[in-house]
Amino acid sequence: MLVHLGRIVNHKMLGKYALPAFNTSDLEMTQGIVRAAKKLKAPVIIQTSVGALEYAGIEQLVGIIKTEAHESPTPIALHQDHCHDFKLIKKLIDLGYSSVMLDASHLSYKDNLKLTKAVVAYAHKRGVWVQAELGRILGNEDWQTVKSGEDLMTDPDQAAKFVAETRIDTLAVAVGSLHGIPVDPRIKKVLSTLKEHVDLKRLKAIRAKVKIPLVMHGASGVPDAQIRVAIKMGVAVFNIDTDLRVAFNKALRDNIKKYPQVYDPRKLLKPATDALQAMAEKKIKLMGGSGKAKGFK
């Protein structure tokens, strides 16, 4: 069933368990995610990136997600990941997204604050949640403007002020997790100033000052032990993309190599979808979401 994000992300869960926000860009990925949620009776978030919408088509991809969600007995929320475009956010709200992420973290604090407040005012009138980012999650776009990974981290005091002034519903924090698998040497130079880990001390300080649910992006590379600690500190959502892609890609490559004579895409893609589902199940179990959809109406 398709539900509002606010029905599955709430203060009651904080410190106890968390939900994965899985990225999708096509039918196979969506099916793997939904099947994992159904098997484990777990609520999940399915999210789209701007790139995924451009690849599959906005109406087409949203249609796939809605169809799969409506046919599932488990609660599934639809969320838009990093988006800089207010016009696109408005369109997605019209299409039924219950949560959108405005990413204005590349702007100055003043401009980020101004744009976020405008998006919140628009979205809240329509019953839609807004996620924003303060600090910048490390990734492929960041090598140009920083010399150290520390420059990108979320400041706890600033985070508290930002949340109070914008009235956002969830906050994406930058505490050391990475987007994707960086390969550019200029990015690696920045990343060499940090170990790929979560700055738990900083996360604890943010949690003490910010009471809304926290979101950790780039969670594919975070060790399981730190995921568990972050959950106890009140992180409610972990974005998972790269791990799903890697699982899908590896299974697809192995299947093509094993059966070079097979030309039916369905037969080639099924093992890849199954591998993605297995990875999604692993993440749901890690975050403690199994069985949390029982009794949900």
Prediction pTM value: 0.89
- Residue set of the binding site for Zn(2+): 82, 103, 133, 179, 217
Separation of alpha carbons 160 and 150, rounded Å: 19
pLDDT tens track for 128-158? 999 999 865 555 444 444 444 455 789 999 9
pLDDT tens track for 8-22? 999 999 999 999 999
Asked if 72 and 38 count as a contact pair (C-beta separation under 8 A), the reply is yes
User: So what's the pLDDT on residue 106?
Assistant: 81
pLDDT tens track for 210-237? 999 999 998 887 889 999 999 999 999 9
Identify each DSSP E strand in the chain by its residue range: 19-23, 44-48, 76-83, 99-102, 129-134, 170-173, 214-216, 235-240
Which residue ranges form the domains of the chain, and what is each CATH number?
Answer: 5-286 (3.20.20.70)
Going 137 to 138 to 139 to 140, the CA torsion angle's sign is: positive
Q: Which residues are identified as catalytic?
A: 81
CA angle 264, 266, 270 (to 5 degrees): 130
Name which residue leads in pLDDT, 144 or 33. Answer: 33
